Amino acid sequence: MGELIRLEAGVEHTSWNSSRTKMAAGMSDGSVHIYEPLKGTNSDYSCSNRWKAHEVAVAKLVWAPSEYGDVIACCSKDGTMSIWEEIEDAEKRDVWQLCARFADTKAPVLDLQFANCASGLKLVAAGADAHLRVYEATDVLELKHWQLQAEFANAADVREKLERVSCTDASVCWRPATDPIQQQVFVVGFQTDSPQHSIAKVWEFGEAHQRWHLVAELSSPEHDYGRINHVSWAPNIGRPYELIAVSSSNSLSIWSMDIPSGPGQRPAVKLLGYFTDHQPGEVVQAEWDMSGMTLASAGADGVVRLWQSNLKGRWEEKSRVVGS
């Protein structure tokens, strides 16, 4: 317990790999730093690699599923996106090499997430134009070539599609799978002034029609959900329903979503908890633990709150981590 890593100045974003053995930090000068423990230890983290990935600050970093090796994707504050992987060079050193750089995206990329789908490695990118772009690696081993498979607006109907939206931030989260192959379902939330586009939406790829369609909208009339900062889909180890947490500028909301019994059916969505405990109200991020039983939410107040459902199914704050 205690300090695990002392970072260098200028860290914009941190991201851990799935087994929590490596941590990538995106820096304000556009470089990426990789931290890992010294060989044979579980602690003693140090920076093992660093390189310049972008010309401007790295905004977000994500790790690919470990079945594809040590691979990260990052997007910078100029909206470009790149993919890097660790390999061993001829001198037997671990080095990070560029796999692909996406310079031609139509709108700046705000968030991105990998998924290990049955057809291969996919990457969904949320753009500042409130559009989602799904890419797939054409080779499972060489991640140099990526194909844009789908591009669609995060809109429920034609009227929304026609609306011109500009977003300042976005958050995407695939539905976590307990088996290695992921179903093509994700939740996305955009940070924008348009109220309709500020609703977190769940998208699913329909195999029958080979296109992405909107499955659910996480919204209810009784509350104001503010501007979305982060969405997080809980791991499901056997629940008959899914859990999604939405962190926003004024609240943390926990949603349950039934697992649809058949294709084309819209799952029932229910608000399980709406919390404004973080002061002054802004929740920047929420993450589920490995069982999906505990949710940790980070507030702009510097406090991490831990939430659990009681035996009646009501979500409550159970503890908190306060920094000083």
User: Which parts of 92-121 interact with another protein (CB under 8 A)?
Assistant: 92, 94
Pick out residues in 232-261 that bind another protein (CB under 8 A): 235-241
Q: Nearer to another protein by C-beta: 15 or 194?
A: 15
- Measured from the CB atom, the residue of 120 and 149 that comes closer to another protein is 120
Is 270 a binding residue for another protein by CB under 8 A? The answer is no
For 290, counting Cβ atoms within 10 Å of its Cβ (0-12 exposed, 13-18 middle, 19+ buried), the class is exposed
Listed in sequence order, the residues at least 6 apart from 158 whose beta carbon sits closer than 8 Å to its beta carbon are: none
Binding segment (CB under 8 A) for another protein, from list 125-133, 166-174, 207-215, 308-316: 308-316
Q: Report the alpha-carbon distance of residue 276 to residue 279 in Å, rounded.
A: 8
Gyration radius (Cα) of the chain, Å: 19
Among the listed ranges 17-25, 159-167, 205-213, 219-227, the one in contact with another protein (CB under 8 A) is: 17-25
- Under the binding rule (CB under 8 A), the answer on residue 2 touching another protein is yes
Scan for tokens 């990118």, then name that residue: 125
Interface with another protein (CB under 8 A), residue from 23, 185, 246, 269: 23
Question: Residue 221 Cβ, how far from another protein at the closest point, in Å?
Answer: 26
Q: Which helix (H) or strand (E) holds 137?
A: strand 131-137
Contacting range for another protein; rule: CB under 8 A; set: 128-136, 206-214, 215-223, 311-319: 311-319
Place of tokens 């940790």: 296
Q: For another protein, what does the binding mask look like between residues 159 and 188, x meaning CB under 8 A?
A: -------------------xxxx-------
- 296 forms part of the interface with another protein (CB under 8 A): yes
Query: Taking Cα atoms as reference points, which of 225, 34, 24, 52 lies closest to residue 114?
Result: 24
Nearer to another protein, 53 or 245 (CB): 245
Q: For residues 21 and 11, what is the distance between their CA atoms, to the nearest angstrom?
A: 19
Q: Is the Cβ of residue 205 or residue 288 nearer to another protein in the bound state?
A: 288
- Please state the closest distance from residue 162 (CB atom) to another protein, in A: 36
Contact 214, 202 (CB under 8 A): yes
277 touching another protein, by CB under 8 A? no
Shortest CA distance to 299 belongs to which of 284, 315, 280?
284
Is residue 81 a contact partner of residue 135, using CB atoms and an 8 Å limit?
no
- Report the nearest approach of another protein to the CB of residue 159 (Å): 36
Residues 121-140 that bind another protein (CB under 8 A): 139-140
Tell me: does residue 51 bind another protein (CB under 8 A): no
Torsion angle (degrees, nearest 10) of CA 226, 230, 235, 238: 10
**Tokens, residue 52:** 């310049």
Residue 67 binds another protein, judged by CB under 8 A: yes
Beta bridge mates, 117: 120, 182
